Amino acid sequence: MGKTIAEKIFDSHGVDNPFGDIHVIRLDAVFCHEITTPVAINDLVSRGMDRVFDPSKIKAVIDHVTPAKDSKTAMQGKILREWAIRQGIVDFFDIGKNGVCHAIFPEKGFVRPGYTIIMGDSHTCTHGAFGAFAAGVGTTDLEVGILKGVCAFHYPHSIKVVIDGELPQGVFAKDVILAVIGKLGVNGATNKVIEFTGHVVDQMSMEARMTLCNMAIEAGGTCGICAPDMTTVDYLWAFIASDYPSKEAALSDYRRFTADSDAHYDQVIHVDASTLSPMVTFGYKPDQVKPVSDMEGEKVDQVYIGSCTNGRLEDLRIAAKILKGKTISPNIRAIVSPATPEIFSKALDEGIIKIFMDAGFCVTNPTCGACLGMSNGVLADGEVCASTTNRNFNGRMGKGGMVHLMSPATAAETALAGVIKNSFLFTEAGGAK
């Protein structure tokens, strides 16, 4: 019997098999941010175990509330900062250099095919886009990861999602993943890895694959995963060029982490991309999705473009294409948060930031803040936000607030209209009949 990508990664990282299907695996990287790590740090200190298994394999960032909004968030940053210095963690990204964890860590080349990664953040599944096993964990798993470089998981079962056909114009990775979550349901992939494959995934950029994998957790999935290919190698080349004589050699090495043709999947789902249209969520669960056409005209108070799902350069370019030379509806407010300083800087160079500002957007520094209602765009009771983020739970972006998840294209068009609306990219192609 052949193996899935996740099985191959597990089999190359085994440390112990203490019970049944529980495998303790060796970690290649432990990612940390200031919300879930300080309690682990304090606990290690109080246990007299204030050390790390390998400072070069720990990466840390202040991203959820930055700049600090109050004394409490300043203290969280302080604890992480002092710990990073104390433990010799070189890859620590503080204010001025910091960005949304799941955007900045891949951008720095910290994610490689075949890697095992944990972080105290549920959207760690994003990094599976590189053919890595990356899972969100709680603070205790994080603490043991920091201390010992290991984590325990059930041996991975996988669901294969085959996305074939051609994506219609104006339909993006976000629409695909919303449609997939709609099919799977919010717990359809619990305890499972979602392996994304097919022609559409092959054609996708790394940014789009990250959007896809980012929301695996919204179907309960442990990790989303895409097989490494030349697109992966191209993205990583700046970081790996000294390790391989050629890109072909790198690819051939990474091919160790592609699935066998006779691998076993608990479930195989086929999606014909050509039948998809832009999607939007309508309730308080991410599987409550419908075509944007069915929600057109619904009023919103705020538009938010950003986050680990859709705050990358490709996302900003698409939104700017829609916003260029236009201004947002006077009845709403709009916020864009480029996910990293590098994205921000490139967006400046390309004139994208100017387009957003001319359109009437507030441009914030890179941060997770608004997505989980912590800072930089919290909703008031009864307000509605059209958002490119990943979670529409009741009160997620602010108590009593409603969130409609959508692609950057739909969000940008919605900002112009003041009501939910399909982007012209889709409608001009004859999509919304």
Partner 1 sequence: MKQFNGKVLFLDRSDINTDEIIPARYLTEISKEALKPFLLEDLELAGFNPSKDILPSNVVISRANFGCGSSREHAPWAFEVNDINLVVAESFARIFKQNMFNCGMMAVELQSAILDDLFTTFMGKETLLETDLKKNVFVFKSGEICKEIPFSISGFDRALVEADGWVGYADKHY
Q: Footprint of partner 1 on this chain (CB under 8 A)?
A: 15-16, 18-20, 22, 24, 35-36, 38-39, 42-43, 47, 49, 64-65, 70, 72-73, 75-76, 79, 120-122, 124, 136-141, 143-144, 147-148, 150, 152, 186-187, 190-191, 220, 222, 285, 372-374, 391, 393-396, 399
Burial, 346: exposed, middle or buried (Cβ in 10 Å; 0-12, 13-18, 19+)?
A: middle
- Main-chain dihedrals φ then ψ at residue 88, nearest 5 degrees: 70, 35
Computed on alpha carbons and rounded to an integer, the radius of gyration of the chain in Å comes to 21
Comparing CB distances to partner 1, the nearer of 388 and 427 is 388
Q: Could you give the C-alpha distances from 10 to 21, 87, 262, in angstroms and in order? A: 12, 28, 18
Tell me the C-alpha distance between 195 and 6, whole Å.
9
CB of 315 to partner 1, least distance (A): 22
CB of 276 to partner 1, least distance (A): 25
Query: Which two tokens mark 124?
Result: 């760690």
CB of 222 to partner 1, least distance (A): 6
Comparing CB distances to partner 1, the nearer of 169 and 191 is 191
Q: Count how many residues are written for the chain.
A: 433
Comparing CB distances to partner 1, the nearer of 221 and 431 is 221
Work out the angle between the directed axes of helices 247-254 and 230-240 (0-180°, nearest 10). Answer: 120
Largest CA distance in the chain: 65
CB of 58 to partner 1, least distance (A): 17
Comparing CB distances to partner 1, the nearer of 136 and 170 is 136
Which residue in this structure is represented by tokens 């996910």? 339
CB of 48 to partner 1, least distance (A): 11
Comparing CB distances to partner 1, the nearer of 43 and 298 is 43
CB of 302 to partner 1, least distance (A): 17
Comparing CB distances to partner 1, the nearer of 137 and 210 is 137
Comparing CB distances to partner 1, the nearer of 156 and 168 is 156
Tell me the C-alpha distance between 64 and 391, whole Å.
15
Comparing CB distances to partner 1, the nearer of 190 and 275 is 190
Is residue 194 within 8 A of residue 158, CB to CB? The reply is yes
Q: Which of 60, 123, 111, 114 is nearest to 87 (CA)?
A: 60
Tell me the C-alpha distance between 397 and 385, whole Å.
8
CB of 430 to partner 1, least distance (A): 37
Q: Which of 171, 371, 198 is nearest to 280 (CA)?
A: 171
CB of 396 to partner 1, least distance (A): 6
Strands (E), 47-109: 58-61, 92-93
CB of 161 to partner 1, least distance (A): 18
Strands (E), 42-98: 58-61, 92-93
Comparing CB distances to partner 1, the nearer of 153 and 356 is 153
Q: Which of 57, 208, 209, 50 is nearest to 129 (CA)?
A: 209
